[in-house]
Amino acid sequence: MEVTLLTSQEIRQLITLREVIEIVEEAFRQKGEKKVQMPPKVYVSFEKGDFRTMPAYLPAMEAAGVKIVNVHPRNPSLGLPTVMATILLLSPETGEPLAVMDGTWITAARTGAAGAVASKYLARRDSKEVGIVGAGVQARYQLLALAEVMKVEKIRVTSPVRAGEYVSEMRRLGFDAESAPIQEVVEKSDILATTTPVTQPIVRNEWVREGTHINAIGADAQGKEELDPSILKRAKIVVDDYEQACHSGEVNVPLSRGLLRREEIYGELGEIVAGRKRGRESEEEITVFDSTGLAIQDVAVAWTVYKKAEKEGAGRRIRLIS
């Protein structure tokens, strides 16, 4: 019994961001058709961060596994990523371990991909200007994934620390990017991505114009929120998963304070991708995608990587059980 080991660099050589978007969209479709198993995330909290375990099974792909991922916001000051992850794949038939791989890049890529898929179904078709709140890893992948599904003509970013660095990188990649105050970023966005770990709203209701689509990415644990709850009252709210979002997504604080009712959540993105509910229904509609990150995304992408590695002889094989 041999297990395939794959590094982040090997993974990136085996799969493209465009492929990740296609895989994530299909994973949403299968969830919308109720063809997956995905228990909610389990959190273990530390003083300076947490880690989560995320299991999933996608029968259509014959893919099963679990991701263990940490979130430690102070890590950059130590020269470490805020988010690090490891994915273990298992055989659904026997339960034997098949692969262990770095999940850090997959986490970043599939989260960006989820924003791109949501924008495909929820943003206005004439969307051209993108606003990014935050300038970390996810700010980068939200933009790169969006650029795979739409023509991005202008990018505005706001961040108290790394906006200049972000703008320089995006310009090197050929984007028309600039740094701006948060109000301007929000007011001029067709699509807005919020990617911060804050626990107090930083995007104000009066800045959000009609027709805007928001990918709310940063709230991924209980107590986090980036948007003024009044925005949610005006918007069509689409979540990636009801249970996870109510516990740890952008809607978790407004729900816990009675400012929002679960009945006001329109549906899950998978239901829209599967054709069971409609996406955007007017040019004036404000739409919000509340992304918490799904294990089915990780396992589906990792499974595709594993199958490619098998075919191409990539990675290293070791015997764990003799």
**pLDDT tens digits for range 169-201:** 999 999 999 999 999 999 999 999 999 999 999
CA atoms within 13 A on the CB side of 272: 24
243 and 173 belong to one structural domain: yes
pLDDT of residue 1: 78
Neighbours of 268 (CB within 10 A): 21
H or E segment to which residue 277 belongs: none
Question: Would you say 5 and 318 are in contact if contact means Cβ atoms under 8 Å apart?
Answer: yes
pLDDT of residue 305: 98
pLDDT of residue 282: 97
Number of domains in the chain: 2
Compute the mean pLDDT over every residue in the chain, rounded to the nearest whole number.
Answer: 96
21 and 132 belong to one structural domain: no
Beta bridge partners of 142: none
Domain with residue 31: its CATH number is: 3.30.1780.10
Q: Which domain holds residue 42?
A: 2-107+296-319
pLDDT of residue 320: 82
pLDDT of residue 161: 87
The whole-angstrom separation of Cα 199 and Cα 258 is: 17
pLDDT of residue 103: 97
pLDDT of residue 321: 74
215 and 268 belong to one structural domain: yes
Active-site residues, by number, are: 67
Cα–Cα separations (whole angstroms), residue 128 to 143, 185, 190:
12, 13, 6
H or E segment to which residue 98 belongs: strand 97-102
Tokens of 20: 């990740």
Tokens of 165: 């660095």
Task: Show the low-confidence residues of the chain (pLDDT under 50).
Answer: none
Whole-angstrom distance between the N-terminal and C-terminal Cα of the chain? 7
100 and 140 belong to one structural domain: no
Residue 72 CB partners (closer than 8 Å, separation 6+): 46, 48, 49, 50, 80, 82
